[in-house]
Amino acid sequence: MTLNAVPQSMHFDAPLALQSGASMAGYDLAYETYGRLNADRSNAVLVCHALNASHHVAGVYEGQPGSEGWWDTMIGPGKPLDTERFFVIGVNNLGSCFGSTGPMHANPATGRPWGADFPVVTVEDWVDAQARLLDALGIASLAAVMGGSLGGMQALSWTLQYPRRVRHAAVIASAPNLTAENIAFNEVARRAIVTDPDFHGGHFYRHGVVPKRGLRIARMIGHITYLSDDVMNEKFGRQLRDGIDLRYTTQDIEFQIESYLRYQGDKFSEYFDANTYLLITRALDYFDPARAHGGSLAKALATATADFLLVSFTTDWRFPPARSREIAKALLDNRRRVSYAEIDAPHGHDAFLLEDARYLAVVRAYFDRIAAEFSA
């Protein structure tokens, strides 16, 4: 059965107070919903996205083959998060470049694109904006909030910012904060963008150019960290593009892995906004609920009341299982209910987006349990 997705947009006039102290007035959030809200409005699930994704979580756009949402393996009729039972909401975050208000939109104060002047947004700000969208949709409480990677950080933050509005949180391939190495990779990617002469201090729109060189490098770095060494060796290994012989060049593509990375970089640079890249990586850097609690994650999570599903993947070296276990331990220290699955999958961080029978079965079982709660 095909799930048809219809993008929608909601305008918000009231200013949103941001963590930085700035405020954002008159913004739009792009979103999609799938399935039907039940009579007592108890079956809503919010799905939060990571860096390069959007409100288009599941289904296809009519007449657009290949337009499947980014988590279409997970969400849809009969799928682990079953849209026959749940009312699923996907939202594009503030500052992103897929429909919600972002750096390429006009700054009301100047009439020109925000560019690098777009306010710095945090995971907490996104959650606040998402809560307002739910208000507007008449949803007081979520059956669950779910996300992978940066999306998982939002799900975790929901349980702290709005504990009474979330019954379950599914936090997949995520972490309670970035390590120094994670920040380091983000910083290199940002430097590549910011030092591209076409960046023009973040106001490249008015110059009619795009800092594609920087975006390509950023994406190439990202891709390396999304994949495992194993899967890269299996998929590309040391295979040459031209067959058997080395060509002895320094700038041509000789190895398959080079070809793959350049292709990924080129593709990304065609559609992703450079300022959005900076904003989203910074939101990742900043997220750290333990910071306000002297570094104690257990103290930080003391106010969470949701039940949790945590999932990690063995070959994920960006957010390895140990990071999910930190969250599990902090929750158990608070006597919360936690289900934790460590999936033996070869695909690295990307595994959370891929079809893997054991992974999907774990999520399915968890949502079956949630469904039993509200249908009982």
For a second copy, the binding residues (CB under 8 A) are: 19-22, 116, 119-120, 177-181, 183-185, 187-188, 190-192, 194-197, 202, 213, 216-217, 220-221, 223-224, 227, 229, 232-233, 235-238, 246, 248-251, 254-255, 257-258, 261-262, 265, 275, 278-279, 281-282, 285-286, 288, 291, 317
Q: Which of 96, 100, 149, 312 is catalytic?
A: 149
In terms of Cα–Cα distance, which of 257, 191, 197 is closest to 218? 191
C-alpha 200/C-alpha 194 separation (Å) is 8
Structural element, H or E, at residue 90: strand 87-91
Residue closer to a second copy by CB (options 142, 227) is: 227
Structural element, H or E, at residue 356: none
Q: How many CA atoms lie within 13 A of 268 on its CB side?
A: 25
The maximal CA–CA distance of the chain, rounded, in angstroms, is 68
The yes-or-no answer on residue 230 being catalytic is no
In terms of Cα–Cα distance, which of 334, 340, 341 is closest to 304? 334
Residue closer to a second copy by CB (options 169, 279) is: 279
Q: Which of 72, 324, 349, 356 is catalytic?
A: 349
| CB of 354 closer than 8 Å to CB of 347 | yes
Say whether 288 counts as a known binding-site residue: no
The yes-or-no answer on residue 105 being catalytic is no
DSSP 153: H
Residue closer to a second copy by CB (options 84, 198) is: 198
Could you tell me how many residues make up the chain? Answer: 376
The yes-or-no answer on residue 168 being catalytic is no
In terms of Cα–Cα distance, which of 193, 228, 199 is closest to 343? 228
Residue closer to a second copy by CB (options 281, 312) is: 281
Say whether 135 counts as a known binding-site residue: no
Q: Which of 125, 316, 324, 347 is catalytic?
A: 316
Active site residues: 149, 316, 349
* Residue positions forming the annotated binding site for substrate: 219, 350
